[in-house]
Chains A and B, each alone.
Chain A
Amino acid sequence: MDVLDDHVPASQATAALLEVDDLRVGFAAGGREVRAVNGVSFRVSPGRTLAIIGESGSGKTVSCRAVMGLLPAGTVVTGSARLRGTELIGLSDSQLRRHRGADMAMVFQDPARSLNPTMRIGAQITEAVRAHRKVARGEAREQAVELLRRVRIPLPDRRYHEYPHQLSGGMRQRVMIAMALACQPRLLIADEATTALDVTTQAQIMELLLDLQAELNMALIMISHDLGLAASYADEVVVMYAGRIVEQAPARRLFGAQGAVRMRYTRALLDAIPQLGRPAHTLLPVVGGRPPDAAARPPTEPDLAEHVPGHRWACWHPCQNGDGE
């Protein structure tokens, strides 16, 4: 990865692959109108990793699913999401399908539930291969085995015939990645891809993802609630809260020793990470309160503005110095 000047946002160094502008998602639930995403904008370039961090309900998953077109019927999506210049919002499902899996792919959180339990994993991968390309069965099978090998699954020939429940969690996630890569997408979205795994496997999967990214020069979006993960692997970080981006900066800047965090929220998230250096039994500072009800939002909210080149935040009372006061 290139070493970049702190002042130039990493994602703008090369032409952006995905440009999301003012994305808004709303749907009706239980008699009320829920606004899950309220004006989200970001960019990702090939070879770069963007981390979207937030609590459950912050809208991070919904934003990415809106880009992929995987939201249930009856959801209203406005705004713009351009993949290599092609506007995705507003496309019909059959048009979007041509991009899904081919140009942009997604890896999901719980591979136990995200893989069809009654279908052999080999068949699930060849299905992905043949969805977008006219490939004969035998060749699709070879490609699938090759993909399994690429995601570092031992004995791929044998695993090809197995069912998901016969594999461990980490292996299942590798299979999901193999499926996502079947047509060599330009953009890979990993939606909490490592959340359901133990720490060691987590590290392995992340390393795998980054290696594959470098090999294929993919843009990678990692969705997570784990700031530590973002710190280790991301180029740029976007913090979401209640459907909006509240802080956005290169990872180096956010997590650097001088601590340029401006949002109390981000600060609180950082402080909540357990650290080895602290005395035993230190209580972890918890982010107080709950995210606002997405169906009853406060009437005004601060804008997201680039107050310092490369670093944006949305706050009326930002932290004055890096230590959060």
Chain B
Amino acid sequence: MTGARLAGSPALRLVGRRLLAAIVVLWGVTFLTFAVMSALPNDTAQVLLGLHATPAQVAELNKALGLNRPFPVRYWHWLVGLLHGNLGTDLEGASVNSQLAQHLPVTLELLAYALIGSLLLAVIVAVLAARKPNSLADRFSLGVSMLGLSAAPYAFAIFLIVIFAVKLNWFPVQSNSLGSGTLLSFFQQGTLPAASLGFPLFAIYTRLLRADLVEQLQREDYIVTAKAKGLAPWRVLIGHALRNSVFSLITVVGLNLGTLIGAAAIIEALFSVPGIGAELLTAIGNKDVPLIEGVVLVFALVTVLGNLAADLAYAVLDPRIRYGRSTS
């Protein structure tokens, strides 16, 4: 029933258009990054050679690194390399691909931890809050989420370190072997950074979900029907209201991915997590353009995919769109 219906359907065309737009955006971001990096004064060669290098030596190295060619040429070469799957080599001679392969999984694991943790907590708190609006639980949830929205992740991270790592010694202060150990060590080293990242997320999701749930409970007719059937309030809340709120939540999660990965950079630096965020910060310090480009590409990819997923979530999940109208 669904398969034949989907091909050539408006849904597929929508996906196609979005994919095309996504590719344009990815190209635009990489182009812009290259342009900006090229526009800035670049003394990489100088830095590598040290203060005592002669201008001739600097020029020599520039030529060897290909840094003296005009920016469109360099961009073109990079783009061609990209289409072959090769992201070039960074200034230290290592392949960008391998750098990414080494550090990206760590960041992704950390992000997953933060995301899933904050989602779970948000659902629990929002459901408890929506159950009785303006109750103590509700006000508490609103207060905590306001805190999460207002606290700077880096300040919060420091606060967490002081209390939980230093004073209570529950977690290590640094997480430099995150991602390369046992599951237990993952949780030990990953909890504080994930909490720093996840607190603002938790705040946003809780507020959104609570507002959506309360609105449904007050306004939607099918909620009255559910109550008229004699269902218990929890069942109404979770089985009916929450079910329908999941859509908007997923949309927001997708839209947030881009900012999340940006925030990860600072947190990684704070906790010495060996992820690509930390790599990016050092790369910028070294003006290591190929590495920067590679990481930016990944960031942009995540953002674009997140937006794409948010856009398409409705088309895929809402049964009204998925199944269309049958003949009756």
Contact = CB atoms under 8 A, between A and B. Distances in A.
Q: Does A associate with B in a complex?
A: yes
Interface of A: 68, 70, 72, 93, 97-102, 105-106, 108, 110, 113-119, 127-128, 131-132, 162-163, 165-168, 171, 176, 179-180, 182
Interface residues of B, number: 26
Interface stretch (B15-23, B183-191, B193-201, B236-244): B236-244
A102 B328 CA distance: 31
Contacts of A176: 225
A106 B221 CA distance: 13
B226 interface: yes
Contact of A165 (B220, B225, B233, B320): B320
25 contacts: A72-B218, A97-B231, A100-B228, A101-B228, A102-B230, A105-B229, A108-B221, A113-B220, A113-B222, A115-B225, A116-B244, A117-B319, A118-B244, A119-B240, A119-B243, A127-B226, A127-B231, A128-B230, A131-B229, A162-B326, A163-B319, A163-B320, A166-B326, A179-B229, A182-B229
Contacts, number: 85
Interface in B51-82: none
Contacts of A128: 229-230
B210 to A, nearest CB: 17
B226 A116 contact: yes
A114 B222 contact: yes
B222 A115 contact: yes
B170 interface: no
A162 B323 CA distance: 9
Counting from the closest, the 10 A-B pairs by CB-CB distance are A101-B230, A100-B230, A113-B221, A116-B222, A101-B229, A128-B229, A114-B221, A166-B326, A163-B319, A106-B228
Nearest to A96: B230
Contact of B319 (A70, A165, A182): A165
Contacts of A105: 228-229
Contact of A118 (B225, B243, B328): B243
Contacts of B239: 127
Given A72-B218, A110-B221, A163-B320, A127 B243 contact: no
A70 B227 contact: yes
B232 interface: yes
A168 B229 CA distance: 22
B232 A97 contact: yes
Contact of A97 (B225, B230, B318): B230
A113 to B, nearest CB: 4
A180 B228 CA distance: 9
